[in-house]
């Protein structure tokens, strides 16, 4: 009887551990970019500790805004590859961790971070 209870408890604990999601990997730090809003105002967008290995469409410069973002600055601890299109499509440029940045000539709409 004790063996069955111990086996049931161990099985329950194993199922519980399997159900707990693994911690998501994230780039630590901040990614910044400038853009012009649909209304015509200058703005700065940012991502704090963005997810790694996942395409992120930059808020404010998606398909709804005819103007892409520009002047990206990578202040995260991961490599950032920026794309000219949404969903990480189009031309790309890689920015190094901590100090990577580009001028207003680099247009961006999405980014992916990798270590």
Task: Please list the pLDDT of the chain residue by residue as tens digits (115 residues).
Answer: 454 554 444 445 444 444 444 445 789 999 999 999 999 999 999 999 999 999 999 999 988 899 999 999 999 999 999 999 999 999 999 999 999 999 999 999 999 999 7
pLDDT tens sequence across 17-46: 444 444 457 899 999 999 999 999 999 999
Domains and CATH numbers, the chain: 29-114 (2.60.20.10)
CA distances in angstroms from 97 to 7, 63, 115, listed in the order given: 48, 27, 9
Please tell me the pTM assigned to this model: 0.77
- H-helix or E-strand containing 15? helix 2-19
């Amino acid at each position: 009887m004790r063996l069955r209870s111990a086996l049931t408890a161990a099985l329950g604990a194993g199922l519980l551990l399997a159900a707990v999601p693994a911690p998501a990997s994230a780039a630590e730090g901040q990614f910044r970019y400038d853009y012009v809003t649909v209304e015509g105002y200058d703005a700065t967008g940012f991502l704090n500790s963005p997810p790694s290995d996942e395409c992120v469409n930059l808020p404010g410069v998606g398909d709804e805004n005819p103007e892409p973002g520009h002047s990206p600055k990578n202040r995260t601890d991961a490599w950032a590859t920026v794309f000219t299109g949404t969903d990480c499509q189009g031309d790309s440029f890689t920015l190094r961790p901590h100090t990577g940045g580009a001028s207003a000539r680099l247009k961006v709409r999405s980014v992916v971070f990798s270590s």
